[in-house]
Structure 1
């Protein structure tokens, strides 16, 4: 898609959500479909390694999404979310934007964590309703059960002054 074509798809901020969704589904998505599942097929060609890596990806994405949500981790984009080509794990880098600091940007971050169509595409046929969801639930339960040590650690980070 050329820059000119992309500009034609842009709508004013005040445009209704239904109109934005229509352009996304009819113009953008057909030209740029999710392809992350192909990365797993290329990097993990045998069934066992494919399944293991996809499972590791779903679990690690869920854990980092929930931990990032609780800690207010922002600035999540393609250069800060990496994928291990040996295991399939989702690896986050750059933790300079903690405790909802992203809400103070000129263009505030409003999503609790990054979960694009392409990321869901790599999770297999169940998408977010399979292993990802279960791992999110387990992670949140563990963090709730361990809230006192987590709060002590979080408070020390806040008081440190480096964050």
Structure 2
């Protein structure tokens, strides 16, 4: 299986979009394992205090790599030159809004489809008077896009 441009017997194999997604999923293995280490209880977290920054430092570059890899692959498969790809995919710490804007600019027919019927379940801290420390909430695309701007 060709994950990138490979010269094999004089033939350049086209990159696969699924390979971009698979690399992103592999890059998220470490942060998901770090998240599993968190005690998720009230009171001081002790050694687990280092987990949040460690998870963030793993996820941010993984997302940046995914966005660049995904768009470079799509643009290459459209037949654009390497110079055109570099010019369009010159991103530094893109957030979801930048990802969405790039999709809208390069693929206008997807404009109304991004974020439609989207929700993600997250655990959010509760006020101190609540019995449980974390509660599950569902976020819409607009909420996730807004929140993503805060950590990029």
- Under a length normalisation based on structure 1, what TM-score does the superposition of the two structures give? 0.30
- Relative contact order, CA 8 A, sep 6+: which one is greater? 1
* Structure having the larger proportion of residues in strand: 2
- Under a length normalisation based on structure 2, what TM-score does the superposition of the two structures give? 0.32
